Each structure stands twice: as structure tokens, then as C-alpha cells.
Amino acid sequence: MKSTDKKHFKTLRLILGDQLNANHTWFQVVDDSVCFIMMEIRTETDYASHHIQKVVGFFTAMRNFAEELKSKGHSVIYLQINDENNKQSFEENCLSNITKLEVKKFEYLFPDEYRLDEILKKFCDNLIVEHEVFDTEHFFTVRNELATFFEGKKTYLMESFYRQMRKKHQVLVENNQPVNGKWNFDDENRKKIPKNHVVTRPLVFDNNVEGILKEIQATDIKTIGNINAKNFIWPINRTQSLKLLDFFVDECLPFFGTFEDAMAINEWSIYHSRLSFSMNLKLISPKEVIEKAISAWEKQTNEITFNQLEGFVRQIIGWREYMRGIYWLKMPEFSKLNYFNNKSKLPEWFWTGKTKMECLKQTISQSLDFAYAHHIQRLMITGNFALLTGTDPSEVDKWYLGIYIDALDWVEITNTRGMSQFADGGIIGSKPYVSSATYIDKMSNYCSSCKYDKKIKMGEKACPFNSLYWNFYDRNEEKLSKNPRIGMVYHTLNKMDVQTKNDLLKQAAYYLEHINEL
């Protein structure tokens, strides 16, 4: 292994915890004049109350990556969370090592988070040594690509951007036209899990992370959630990430599209890839993920129908790149948007899962146990409930950013404050994503074992989603009634007899007042 005992280095390169891209240009040649620096610091563990699996997952993947670099001959300084010489900030740790190693140049990769981007730009502005920033070589797009694409337009339609990405990168196109005649097969991807269908068991790993867990527990870092330190289930290096990709393509992709919106009791993964943690740390790239999926489809089209593949490709090259583009176009203002001026707190059981509503109990409990829930659980269960109850979007942001292992600011805030909470007033979604019990029952079997009755709107057995749904639209009529996508909702609301409407609103008010008892 390469030692960092050498007195001088010409260049110090910072690697952030979500920049573990072994294929990056930086790492292809060993340069004795270059030293890399990585660090576990309190500013990153403490800006939200993170899931313990998230903190452990990041630290373990980072340490593995550092050891991999050392094994290839690179010089690496790695500061663990409890090291005495760890100053617990990027700026102070970098500056002390620039001075100590008599470095002539500081380099870093573009952060994906606005907060860190500002910190490192300010740090470099005050440096007396030369500095330079490089691309992470991970995404299909550069930061301002979406802004350029939509320049002069009033709306930012994801579908338009998705089609452009497909054409530009020649993904599932022939002569710039979509393979199989349509760009989007989403209408085929809304099936519920049939009663007699046995879902494939998810691939999980059995990494022993007891040592790192003890180090974290020796601090006063506040975390949430549960962990099995002897059998940590998430991939912690590129090899395991590629194994998870292979498993998805072989075992899950044939059913992915059909059931990508489905939810079921005690099924925390369904056919989702769960590759977002690996991708967001850059252990694997979106390009290789898409290429692997397309290759599998080309080889076994009888087993993988096109709607399964297209739905997956759209999530990666469409939504993922689109959300990143919106983030860099609209930050930092986006993080303050609150279109409905919502002020409520999340109920206490969001941190315990102890609620009588089966859909929320299932989604929150699995989030605490696995640091994961798929996109419909996030959007139409927890997100839906938070919006219906008028929760402050900053409260929602903190919860989502903390509880999910794949949650990084650039992808979390656009999905949560934008699509889920409609706090942006329609930049990302053209209408609020709210529903009554009808949708939840359509896409899951949660309602079948719930204390509340999905069909009842009023009374002690009434599903809270039903009255809260109508209360939401009544409360926000001034801002939403002219939205063409929800005109039928207000048509129904306005036709409702006065007594029924008042009873619904009274029921909703009771639930809101007793929200911690639901």
C-alpha cells in the first residue's frame, strides 16, 4: 500500500462520500505527486438525523473505496469519524493537510449538493494555492443542461426532456424514433400484485459492520432506524453493486414495469432494483445500469417485455437526470418553496411506525427496518398523508432526507418538496399527488387488514385518507380550482350537499386534531 508519510505532494484531491467512482479519470494512473483525501465528518452526519444504516453504509463504502485506491498504489489520507486529528469539516481538514504536505494545488469534483458546492467554492476563493474543479463523470447530463433545454419555456415537462435524452444518447431509438413505436409505456405499469403471485425474494448481503457501528455509537451522533450489524444488507463496494445489478436484470426486470407501482404487506422491495444507493454513491454508473438492462432485454425479449424495460430506463435517464437538472436550475430558492403555506408537524409515529393505519404502518416500519421504501410508497403513502395533513415541507424534507439510505439533497428535495408536496406550485408536477383510500386499495392489499374501513368516510371506522382528501381540496380551492387536471374534483365537491360536505370537513378536523392517535 502507498504511504502518505511522504513529506510533500504537488496536488491534494478531495473525494466526497458520494464520489466513489472507480472508473473516474483521476484513478486511472498512479501519480506520486498526488494525494487523495477522504473524511468522515460531523457536518455531514449532523445536518439531518440520518438512518443508522445510511451513516454505516456511507462510512463502510468510503473506507472500502479508500483501501481499494491504496491497493492500486494511490496515496490516500483517510480521516475516520473519531480520529484525533479530524477537525470535522472539509475546509479545516483540507487546509491543514495543504499546509502540512506543502501542497501547490487543490482539486475537487463538482459536488451534487448546493450546500457543499457553496462551501467548497468559498473555501477555494480564500486559498493561496492554485485550485481546480472537475466533473464527476457520472451523469448523462451536465448541471445546466436542463436549463438550456427549457430556456425560454414556461414549463419543464419531464416527458420532453426524457425524449431528448433518449435521442441524444441513442437509448432505445431507431432513426431518432422510439423503439416499439411509443416513448412511454407507463399506462401498462400500474398493476396490483395478484393474490396468488409469489414475489421473488430480494438479494441482500451479509456484511459485518459491527466495528463501524461501535465507532458511531461512541459519538453523540443522532440517528434513527434499526440495523443488523452482523448482516448489513446493502452493497458496500462496486463488486456487490454489480452483483445487485445482475440480480435485478435476471430476476426482477421481467416483472419490474408491471408491478413498479404495486405495494403489498410485508413486501419491502417487490421488483425494484434498489440500485439507487450504489448509483448515488457512484459505485456504479447510470450508463452501465441502462446498458445492462437493455442487453438483457435484447437477449431474452420473450421473458422481458418492452414495458418492463422502458419503465426502468425512464426512471434512470428520465426522472433521475431531470430531477438533478431542476435542482441546479432552481436552487437555493427551491428549498424554501411552500406553495400552500403549510405549517403542521409530522405526527410522532412517523419515527416509530406505531399507527393504526396499515398503509402507513407498513411503509414507515419498513423504512425504519431497511432504510428503504419504493417510489409509490414514498409518494402516495407517506407523502400523500403529509400533504393531506398540511405538513410543513421542511419537516417532510428532513424526514425523507434522514430516513432513506439513498436520500441525497439533489434527488430528495426535488422529489419531496416538488413532486410529493407540490410546494413548488407546479414546477415539477402539474397537479398535487393526493388520493383517498381508493387509490391505495387499488395498488395494494394494505386496506384488507386495516383497522379503518376504506369505504367509510365518516365515523370512528372511517379511513382518514377519505375525509382528509376532501378537506385538502376544500382548504386549497383558491389555488387549485382552476387547474385543468383536477377540474372533476371540484365539480364533485361543488355538487356535494352542504350537510355531507360539512360532515366530511368535521371528520377531517377531528383527525387532524388527534393526528398522533391515528
Position 476, amino acid = N
How far is residue 206's CA from residue 186's CA, in Å, rounded to a whole number?
A: 35
- Report which of 271, 215, 176 is spatially closest to residue 82, judged by C-alpha positions: 215
Burial bucket for residue 295 (CB in 10 Å: 0-12, 13-18, 19+): exposed
Mark the ranges of the chain whose per-residue pLDDT is less than 50: 1-3
Residue 186, in any domain of the structure: yes
* CATH at residue 316: 1.25.40.80
Residue 216, in any domain of the structure: no
Would you state the cell numbers that stand for residue 315, as one nine-digit string?
426512471
Among 283, 301, 330, the domain boundary falls at 330
- Report which of 328, 346, 267 is spatially closest to residue 515, judged by C-alpha positions: 346
Residue 418, in any domain of the structure: yes
Its sign, for the CA torsion 243, 247, 253, 256, is negative
User: CB-based contacts of 510: which residues, under 8 Å, 6+ apart?
Assistant: none
pLDDT at 190: 79
Residues 33 and 108 reside in one and the same domain: yes
Residue 281, in any domain of the structure: yes
Residues 411 and 289 reside in one and the same domain: no
pLDDT at 1: 35
Residues 255 and 303 reside in one and the same domain: yes
CA distance readout (Å), 302 to 13, 199, 249, 254, 299: 48, 20, 14, 9, 9
Cβ atoms 308, 260 nearer than 8 A: no
Would you state the cell numbers that stand for residue 89, as one nine-digit string?
469539516
CA distance readout (Å), 300 to 255, 295, 308, 508: 13, 9, 12, 51
CA distance readout (Å), 369 to 209, 233, 372: 16, 11, 8
Residues 172 and 309 reside in one and the same domain: yes
- Report which of 278, 295, 200 is spatially closest to residue 243, judged by C-alpha positions: 278
Q: How many domains is the chain built from?
A: 3
pLDDT at 6: 59
User: CB-based contacts of 304: which residues, under 8 Å, 6+ apart?
Assistant: 253, 254, 296, 297
Q: Has this prediction a pTM greater than 0.85?
A: yes
Among 330, 360, 386, the domain boundary falls at 330
Residue 299, in any domain of the structure: yes
Residues 118 and 34 reside in one and the same domain: yes
Residues 304 and 379 reside in one and the same domain: no
Residues 73 and 180 reside in one and the same domain: no
Residues 62 and 180 reside in one and the same domain: no
pLDDT at 2: 45
Residue 158, in any domain of the structure: yes
- Residues of the domain holding 377: 348-517
Strand duo 105-109 + 75-79: pairing:
unpaired
Would you state the cell numbers that stand for residue 132, as one nine-digit string?
481546480
User: How many residues does this entry show for the chain?
Assistant: 518
Give the H or E element holding residue 366: helix 358-370
Cβ atoms 359, 440 nearer than 8 A: yes
pLDDT at 8: 80
Residues 188 and 126 reside in one and the same domain: no
* CATH at residue 394: 1.10.579.10
Helices 90-100, 114-125: crossing angle, 10 deg rounding: 40
How far is residue 211's CA from residue 209's CA, in Å, rounded to a whole number?
A: 6
Question: What are the tens digits of pLDDT across the range 71-124?
Answer: 999 999 999 999 999 999 999 999 999 999 999 999 999 999 999 999 999 999
Residue 219, in any domain of the structure: no
* CATH at residue 100: 3.40.50.620
